[in-house]
């Protein structure tokens, strides 16, 4: 109103008034015009709703949608629209998005229930090895085909301290039983490491909070610590990537005609890499000159997990669920056919463990999956 009064008096120009109030001239003329049309009522806040809506749902269709939802309270927008089309025909039936929007405005939409987060745990930061077999690095080099078209998946395992190539197995796939069988042969021949460092992809890492799969959970069961690199940062396992580059340039780029011939050539190359190829990171020594045999020939953990007194152990079924107080609760497919421990944390709340690993929190009032733990990169 003060703006309109100053413009009406004419003591100052419109430009001077706008500069003092810090508005544009278009805005000043707009308010003066609204005052001319409606006086004080014209200066009140007005609705931003458009004057004309090209496609607007009719009141009749809204009544039909509401009645259909009241008859079928568990049906969603897609089923309701299908029912309306079947009864009234396709012309004029609201779209699925429109029905969803109206259901939300009426408070009749179920929506997705937000699941509360589980415990947040910082992983132990990756540590440099002090001696051989402190850390093994494992990965799958990208697949390629032999001369006859057979696909092979090279599984590579190295000792990080000595850069010694422990295994380079050409597998037909990354199937769990094949990878597990290869590691069983390797453990029998080379013993067990303290830690295994790997990336977050299958079959080593999973998408759950713990990041474990059945393979990496099996390593933990054997008493081996698992170190995951930070997602999107393969440089944290750079020495292993260099191993892959050399193998690709010298062997995989020009493969043999058969898988058997390629395996023989790969074995010969690995022996040459370990015994004859000097490594700059080892002061031009060969990996075999630094490598030492492993004294840990037996796994540190065998048999089912034993949890402290007062905890409750539960068997994980083939679908990753446990039975708890008459309900099924999902804890993770990584722990299938293993026991998890439930530690009481308070009334109606338990913390779920897989051996020393925190899996998440189980709450009595909730259903479905547990509150999965979130593991953040260590520092």
- Percent pLDDT > 90 in the chain is 38
pLDDT value of position 120: 78
- Which among 290, 313, 341 is the end of a domain? 290
pLDDT higher than 90, residue 265: yes
Q: What's the confidence (pLDDT) of residue 270?
A: 94
Q: Which of 134, 130, 268 is nearest to 191 (CA)?
A: 134
Q: Average the pLDDT over each of 89-103, 137-151, 162-176, 228-242 and give the range with the smallest value.
A: 228-242
Q: State mean pLDDT over 337-345.
A: 92
Instruction: Tell me which residue range forms the domain holding 36.
Output: 2-42
Q: Based on the domain organization, do 201 and 235 belong to the same domain? A: yes
Q: Is the peptide bond before 203 cis (omega within 30 degrees of 0)?
A: yes
Domains in the chain, number? 4
193/248 same-domain check: yes
The span from the CA of 258 to the CA of 240, in Å, is: 26
Domain annotation covers residue 226? yes
Residue 325, pLDDT > 90, answer: no
Does 189 share its domain with 275?
yes
pLDDT score of 52:
67
The pLDDT confidence band at residue 307, using thresholds 50, 70 and 90, is very high
Residue 281 shares a structural domain with residue 319: no
In a domain, 148, yes or no: yes
Residue 234 above 80 pLDDT? no
Asked if the structure places residue 35 within a domain, the reply is yes
Q: Residue 368: phi, psi to the nearest 5?
A: 80, -140
Q: Are residues 225 and 247 in the same domain?
A: yes
Task: Specify the DSSP class assigned to residue 249.
Answer: I
**Could you tell me if 165 and 234 lie in one domain?**
yes
Q: Residue 359 domain-assigned?
A: yes
Scanning the chain, the segments in alpha helix (DSSP H) are 2-9, 14-21, 25-42, 59-71, 77-88, 96-106, 176-190, 214-221, 238-247, 259-275, 287-290
pLDDT (mean) for 231-244 = 83
DSSP 285: B
d(CA 160, CA 236): 12
What pLDDT score was predicted for residue 111?
Answer: 60
Average of pLDDT values for 10-22? 85
The Cα 49–Cα 43 span in angstroms is 17
If one counts every other C-beta atom within 10 angstroms of the C-beta of residue 174, the result is 16
Same domain, 152 and 191: yes
Total length of the chain: 379
Residue 379 has pLDDT above 60, yes or no: no
Taking a C-beta distance cutoff of 8 angstroms, is the pair 205, 197 a contact?
Answer: no
Q: What is the pLDDT of residues 86-140, one digit of tens each?
A: 888 888 888 898 888 888 888 877 665 566 778 877 777 778 889 999 999 999 9
Say yes or no: 101 and 153 in one domain. Answer: no
Question: For the chain, what is the mean pLDDT?
Answer: 87
According to the model, what pLDDT value does residue 38 have? 81
Q: What is the pLDDT of residue 112?
A: 59
At residue 289 the predicted structure's pLDDT band, cuts being 50, 70 and 90, is very high
234 shares a domain with 154: yes
Please check the confidence at residue 348 and state whether its pLDDT lies above 60: yes
> Do 36 and 64 fall within a single domain?
no
| Same domain for 199 and 92 | no
pLDDT at position 229, please? 85
* Closest C-alpha among 328, 318, 322, 377 to residue 353: 322
Q: Is residue 127 part of a domain?
A: no
Report the range out of 116-120, 195-199, 297-301 with the highest average pLDDT.
195-199
Q: What is the mean pLDDT of residues 284-300?
A: 87
User: In 3-state terms, what secondary structure has residue 328?
Assistant: strand
Q: Could you tell me which residues come within 8 angstroms of residue 190 by beta carbon, excluding any fewer than 6 positions away? A: 133, 166, 294
CATH number, domain containing residue 267: 3.30.420.10
Residue 226 bridge partners (DSSP): 196
pLDDT number for residue 195: 92
* Cα angle 278-283-289, degrees, rounded to a multiple of 5: 60
Asked whether the CA dihedral 201, 207, 213, 217 is positive or negative, the reply is positive
d(CA 227, CA 193): 12
> Last residue of a domain, which of 246, 269, 290?
290
Poorest-confidence range of 37-41, 137-141, 226-230? Answer: 37-41
Residue 50 lies in a domain: no
CATH code of the domain in which 87 resides: 1.10.10
State how beta strands 357-363 and 371-372 pair.
antiparallel
Last residue of a domain, one of 262, 290, 318: 290
Residue, of 210 and 307, whose pLDDT is higher: 307
Higher local confidence (pLDDT), 301 or 354: 354
Q: Is there a single domain that holds both residue 140 and residue 269?
A: yes
Residue 213 located in a structural domain: yes
User: What integer pLDDT is reported at residue 173 of this predicted model?
Assistant: 92
Q: Please give the Cα distance from 200 to 215 (Å, whole number).
A: 12
pLDDT tens-digit readout, 44-93? 887 777 776 666 678 888 888 888 888 888 888 899 999 889 888 888 88
Per-residue b/e over 92-122, b at no fewer than 16 CB within 10 Å? ebbeeebbbebbeeeeebeeeeeeeebbeee
Query: Once rounded to an integer, what is the mean pLDDT over residues 138-165?
Result: 92
The pLDDT of residue 378 is above 70: no
Angle at 335 between CA 334 and CA 339, to 5 degrees: 175
Does a structural domain hold residue 345? yes
């Amino acid at each position: 109103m003060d703006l309109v009064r100053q413009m009406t008096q004419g003591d100052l120009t419109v430009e001077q008034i706008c500069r003092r109030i810090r508005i544009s001239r278009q805005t000043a003329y707009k308010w003066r015009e609204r005052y001319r049309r409606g006086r004080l009522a014209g200066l009140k806040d007005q609705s931003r709703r458009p004057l004309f809506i090209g496609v607007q749902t009719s009141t009749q269709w809204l009544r039909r949608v509401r009645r259909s939802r009241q008859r079928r309270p568990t049906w969603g927008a897609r089923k309701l629209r299908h029912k309306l089309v079947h009864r009234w025909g396709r012309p004029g039936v609201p779209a699925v998005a429109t029905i969803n929007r109206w259901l939300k405005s009426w408070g009749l939409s179920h929506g997705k229930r937000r699941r509360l987060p589980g415990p947040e745990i910082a992983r132990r930061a990756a540590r440099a090895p002090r001696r051989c077999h402190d850390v093994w690095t494992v990965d799958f080099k990208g697949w390629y085909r032999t001369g006859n078209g057979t696909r092979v998946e090279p599984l590579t395992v190295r000792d990080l301290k000595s850069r010694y190539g422990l295994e380079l197995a050409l597998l037909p796939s990354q199937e769990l039983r094949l990878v597990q069988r290869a590691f069983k042969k390797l453990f029998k021949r080379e013993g067990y490491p303290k830690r295994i460092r790997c990336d977050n992809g299958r079959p080593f890492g999973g998408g759950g909070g713990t990041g474990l799969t059945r393979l990496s959970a099996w390593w933990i069961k054997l008493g081996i610590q698992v170190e995951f690199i930070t997602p999107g940062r393969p440089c944290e396992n750079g020495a292993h990537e260099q191993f892959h580059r050399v193998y690709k340039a010298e062997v995989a780029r020009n493969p043999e005609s058969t898988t058997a011939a390629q395996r023989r050539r790969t074995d010969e190359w690995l022996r040459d890499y370990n015994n004859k190829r000097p490594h700059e990171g080892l002061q031009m020594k060969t990996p075999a000159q630094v490598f030492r045999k492993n004294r840990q020939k037996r796994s540190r953990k065998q048999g089912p997990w034993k949890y402290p007194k007062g905890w409750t152990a539960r068997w994980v079924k083939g679908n990753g669920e446990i039975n708890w107080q008459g309900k099924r609760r999902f804890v993770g497919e990584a722990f299938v056919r293993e026991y998890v421990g439930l530690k009481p944390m308070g009334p109606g709340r338990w913390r779920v463990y897989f051996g020393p690993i925190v899996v998440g929190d189980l709450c009595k009032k909730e259903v479905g999956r547990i509150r999965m733990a979130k593991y953040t990169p260590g520092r």
